[in-house]
Amino acid sequence: MAVELSFSEEINNLLYASGGNPVTTCIQCGTCAGTCPAVEYMDHTPRQLIGMIGANMKEEVLASNTYWSCSSCYHCTVRCPAGINITGLMYGLQRFAMWRDKQAEDLIGPEFTESFVKMVMRTGRAFEPALAPTYVTKYGTREMLEEVRTASALFFKGRMPMLPKKIKRLENLREMVRRVIPLGGAS
Amino acid sequence: MTQYGFYPGCSLESLAVSYGMSTMETTRELGLDLVELDDWNCCGATSYFHVDQLFAYTLVARNIAIAEREGLDFVTPCSGCYMNAYFTNKYLKEDPDLAEHINYALAADDLTLHGTTKVRHLLEVFIEDVGYEAIKAKTTRPLDGIKVAAYYGCQLVRPRKDGEEIENPQYFEKLMEAIGADAVDFASKTRCCGGALMVTNRKAALDMVLRLLQDAENRETDVIATICPMCNINLEVYQRQVNREFGTNFAIPALYFTQLIGLAMGIAPGRLGIGKELVHLTPSLLA
Question: Hey, are the CB atoms on A125 and B109 less than 8 Å from each other?
Answer: no
What one-character DSSP code corresponds to residue B6? E
Q: Of the ranges A4-8, B141-145, B147-151, which one carries the lowest mean pLDDT score?
A: A4-8
ipTM for the complex shown: 0.92
Q: Give B136 to chain A, closest Cα distance, Å.
A: 31
Residues B154 and B279 in one domain: yes
Distance of alpha carbon B37 from alpha carbon B39, whole angstroms: 6
Residues B18 and B107 in one domain: yes
Q: What pLDDT is stored for residue A184 in this prediction?
A: 53
Residues B102 and B145 in one domain: no
Query: CB B258: neighbour CB atoms within 10 A?
Result: 28
The enclosing H or E element of B254 equals strand B254-256
Q: How far is CA B48 from CA A116, A126, B12, B215, in A?
A: 8, 12, 20, 33
Banded pLDDT at B147 (limits 50, 70, 90)? very high
Q: Over range B195-209, report the average pLDDT.
A: 93
Q: What pLDDT is stored for residue A187 in this prediction?
A: 42
Q: Of the ranges A25-34, A104-113, B172-181, B201-210, which one carries the lowest mean pLDDT score?
A: A104-113
Q: What pLDDT is stored for residue B263 in this prediction?
A: 97
3-state secondary structure A57-85: CHHHHHHCCHHHCCCCCCHHHHHCCCCCC
Q: What pLDDT is stored for residue A182 in this prediction?
A: 67
Q: What pLDDT is stored for residue A105 in this prediction?
A: 65
Which residues of A are less than 8 Å from B7 in CB distance?
Answer: none
Which of A94, A150, A161 is opposite residue B237, by nearest beta carbon?
Answer: A150
Residues B100 and B56 in one domain: yes
Which residues of A are less than 8 Å from B162 in CB distance?
Answer: none
Tens-place pLDDT, residues A118-135: 888 889 988 877 777 777
Looking at chain B, which residue has its C-alpha nearest residue A168? B39
Which residues of B are less than 8 Å from A75 in CB distance?
Answer: 154, 158, 190-192
User: What percent of chain B lies above the pLDDT cut of 90?
Assistant: 89
Instruction: Inform me whether the C-beta atom of residue B158 falls under 8 Å from chain A C-beta atoms.
Output: yes
Looking at chain A, which residue has its C-alpha nearest residue B42? A125
Q: What pLDDT is stored for residue A102 in this prediction?
A: 64
User: What percent of chain B lies above the pLDDT cut of 70?
Assistant: 99
Distance of alpha carbon A98 from alpha carbon B167, whole angstroms: 33
Q: What pLDDT is stored for residue B224 in this prediction?
A: 98
- CB burial of B163-196 (b: ≥16 within 10 Å; e: otherwise) equals eeebeebebbbebbbbbbbbbbebebbbbbbbbb
Residues B116 and B158 in one domain: no
Looking at chain A, which residue has its C-alpha nearest residue B51? A95
**B90 contact partners, CB below 8 Å, separation of at least 6:** none
- Residue ranges with strand state E in chain A: none
Question: Hey, are the CB atoms on B199 and A116 less than 8 Å from each other?
Answer: no
Which of A69, A172, A175 is opposite residue B201, by nearest beta carbon?
Answer: A69
pTM: 0.94
Which residues of A are less than 8 Å from B15 in CB distance?
Answer: 128, 154, 159-160
Asked if the structure places residue B111 within a domain, the reply is yes
Looking at chain B, which residue has its C-alpha nearest residue A17? B53
- Residue B50 confidence (pLDDT) above 80: no
Number of domains in chain B: 2
Query: Using CB atoms and an 8 Å cut-off, which of residues 36-55 of chain B contact chain A?
Result: 39-42, 44-55
Tens-place pLDDT, residues B70-89: 999 999 999 999 999 999 99
Query: Using CB atoms and an 8 Å cut-off, which of residues 161-180 of chain B contact chain A?
Result: 166
Which of B10, B106, B199 is opposite residue A135, by nearest beta carbon?
Answer: B199
CATH number, domain containing residue B239: 3.40.50.11810
Nearest CA among B247, B249, B245 for reference residue B279: B249
Question: Hey, are the CB atoms on A179 and B47 less than 8 Å from each other?
Answer: no
CB B264 within 8 A of CB B143: yes
Which of B18, B199, B203 is opposite residue A112, by nearest beta carbon?
Answer: B199
Which of A127, A150, A176 is opposite residue B62, by nearest beta carbon?
Answer: A176
CATH number, domain containing residue B81: 1.20.1050.140
Q: What pLDDT is stored for residue A103 in this prediction?
A: 64
In terms of pLDDT, which residue wins out, A4 or B169? Answer: B169
For residue B171, give its domain range: 141-286
Residues B205 and B159 in one domain: yes
3-state secondary structure of B32: strand
CB A50 within 8 A of CB A84: yes
Q: What pLDDT is stored for residue A183 in this prediction?
A: 59
Q: Give A32 to chain B, closest Cα distance, Å.
A: 14
* Segments of chain A with pLDDT less than 50: 185-187
Tens-place pLDDT, residues B87-138: 999 999 999 999 999 999 999 999 999 999 999 999 999 999 999 999 999 9
